[in-house]
Amino acid sequence: MPESIRVTAGLPYPLGATWDGSGVNVAVFSAHARKIELCLFDDDGKRETARIPLPEYTHEVWHGYFPDLHPGQLYGLRVHGPYAPEAGHRFNPNKLLLDPYAKEIRGQIRWHDSLHGYRIGHSKQDLSFDKRDSARAMPKCRIIDPAHTWGHDDRPRRPWAETVIYEAHVKGITARKPDVPEELRGSFAALATPGVIEHLASLGVTAVELMPIHAFFDDRYLTEKGLHNYWGYSTLGFFAPAPRYIAPGHNLHDFKLMVQRLHGAGIEVIMDVVYNHTAEGNHLGPTLSFRGIDNLSYYVPADDPRYIYDTTGCGNNLNIRHPRVLQMVMDSLRYWVEDCHIDGFRFDLAVTLSRDRDNFDTNSPFLDAVAQDPVLAHVKMISESWDLGPNGYQVGGFPPGWAEWNGRYRDSMRGFVKGDPGAIPALATHLLGSSDIFDRRGRRPWASVNFMTAHDGFTLMDLYSYNEKHNEANGEENRDGHNDNRSWNCGVEGPSDDPAVIALRDRMRRMAMAALILSNGTPMILMGDEIGHSQQGNNNAYCQDSELTWMTWELDERAMSFKEFVAGALGLRRELAPLRSYRYLHGDPVGGEGGPPDVRWLRRDGKDTTHADWADTEDRDVAVVLRDTRDAVFIIANSSDQEITVIAPEAGEGRAWRLRLDSGTGKIDPDTPPVVAGDGIAMPGRAILLFSAV
């Protein structure tokens, strides 16, 4: 150890490498390690310049204080302990490890067999031991100065009922943006540029949900096929942004500047986070961080501790019931809220976070910790309420305070728009916020995050261009991805220059988007759907970092027309309160006893629907009036090919109905005569009409 590097006892908190203005405190949790060394590297991360044991061990935390270290220093960890895979221990000090609390990571993984704690190809597999140093193949942690001038960063704090989410990918939305400097494209700095923000603001979305930006790297099996981990659902650092999203010569302050500028446009930032598993995979995976620091603490052991319990399909479950692992997750969430001003989180495979092995636990340590945390009380929490384990589908099962991705909405609405038989009852439920799923314990309609498309599956354009998935480019012989897409190619598989096919596809897209935007709940729009982005039928583009997944910005008349329709529909949603109700509508009188019902379902003849009507599986159309004390709206949806006539109901108080949206023509506020009670409305096929009372 160089004489210039001094070390004293330091403190067992905070965890990680923390600059206090004078020096750096280093603290690392490991319940089973025998020694932990801090390894320092030169500025390019290629040469190890010092290896210093942390001198103290308090409450299962190894710690030391280094008065000679400063921000910018690159470092890693080496952890000594038993190598006994059969007992769940996989310590190997030959492997350089990332600090779980690192705030910045520099470099990429260079895949090599030395990254594994065992000898690849050995007859004993992971029971063997590899003595090679992995440092040259590993990225390095970097000590940061967290100071950032936020100025007057006013968080939008959008009410849930007014929230419209836009699911986006940092590179996907910026890689082809012409007015973004080429060296910035694909980065946080690019997402902070005026052109990107102006597009989002003009569309009318209120929140950007960023696909994973926690530190992740390309998986070995993908790099060997010439592919990339595009989506990022393979986290290796829960406090550090992904190095690939930091432009050359820039640093993590770009992320904070991006948040600040989005806030300036009234747009919240939600992070898609992956705390259910890590990038280290199963028992045969590499030793990159958690596995080498304390495998038995960080991961849920299987019945045989040599193996890891897995409900994610990715090889491991993070052991979030362990107090220190739960602390890491909660510290991570608070860091992104307090230090980076994040407005919310979407939790990938959230059921795994709330498991007691085979059972979903609504009083799990994770859910209880979130419920009582004062920092998280004011941010949006969204769960993907399923995983691959036993009892894994739990949509509607999360406690009050949570919103949930509603996969049942997606499937039912797709079926209705496509014209599937028997879809009307589910449509009616989902149009009003899926009360059958979420109306309990005081939850509100916004708890249902409604979506027609998301990153996982077809884009909206592809939903009406393909009957089958086309994932051949993924190198898995088209075996990957969903088979049940409820899509329709409108008569031709893939691209078509037939004007009739193009017109029908646009009609279907408008109907699907109108259904989404006019539904109670929280709408989520997939990046690029507003301009007709296609992935050529690939419904699992997780490994496609190319123009297949990057959003195009060269918009033709067709794309601009659709964007204007989406923006117009979102404008109507903002204007008309019954489309974003704060409470569930159950037919209760508006304004007290004797008032009109807040929801009324109607047949074509203007009369109330009956039980027999709801049971008729051949029906393809439905009409509904929604009211509050100020506004009333009348919605007609027809998924058949045939034009029908619908009798207009009473608008109330001598008012008439004004047509505000016609998805068939794509017109917003067309110049048409008002409609009064008893008038016959010509309702076209495959369309949605929205009227408001005037």
Contact present, 462 and 535 (Cβ < 8 Å) = yes
Q: Which residues contact 120 (CB under 8 A, 6 or more apart)?
A: 113, 130
CA-atom Rg of the chain in angstroms: 27
Contact present, 571 and 579 (Cβ < 8 Å) = no
Strands (DSSP E) contained in 59-121 are: 61-66, 74-80, 83-84, 89-90, 105-106
Residues pairing with 687 in the sheet: 638
> Phi and psi dihedrals of 516, rounded to 5?
-65, -50
Q: Position 128: which residue type? A: S
- How many other CB atoms are there within 10 angstroms of residue 315's CB atom? 18
Strands (DSSP E) contained in 415-479 are: 448-451
- How many other CB atoms are there within 10 angstroms of residue 201's CB atom? 16
User: What are the Cα distances from residue 170, in Å, to 196, 247, 439?
Assistant: 11, 12, 35
Residue 95, exposed/middle/buried by CB under 10 A (0-12, 13-18, 19+)?
Answer: buried
Q: Give the integer Cα–Cα distance in Å for 352 and 310.
A: 9
Q: Which residues contact 653 (CB under 8 A, 6 or more apart)?
A: none
Give 154-181 as a DSSP string. ------GGG--EEEE-HHHHHTT-TTS-
Lookup: tokens for 248: 């050359």
Residue 389, exposed/middle/buried by CB under 10 A (0-12, 13-18, 19+)?
Answer: buried
Q: Give the integer Cα–Cα distance in Å for 161 and 564.
A: 23
Torsion over CA: 648, 652, 656, 659 (sign): negative
For 68-82, letters b (16+ CB in 10 Å) and e give ebebebbbbbbbebe
Conformation bin of residue 691: beta by default, left when phi > 0, alpha when psi is -120 to 50: beta
Q: Give the integer Cα–Cα distance in Å for 164 and 197.
A: 15
> Phi and psi dihedrals of 608, rounded to 5?
-65, 145
Torsion over CA: 44, 46, 49, 55 (sign): positive
Q: What is the set of active-site residues?
A: 348, 384
Residues pairing with 56 in the sheet: 63
Tell me how far the alpha carbon of residue 694 is from its chain's centroid: 39
Give 200-218 as a DSSP string. HHHHT--EEEE---EEE--
Residue 110, exposed/middle/buried by CB under 10 A (0-12, 13-18, 19+)?
Answer: middle
In 251-322, alpha helices (H): 253-264, 290-298
Q: Give the integer Cα–Cα distance in Å for 683 and 638.
A: 7
Q: Give the integer Cα–Cα distance in Å for 531 and 564.
A: 9
Residue 529, exposed/middle/buried by CB under 10 A (0-12, 13-18, 19+)?
Answer: buried
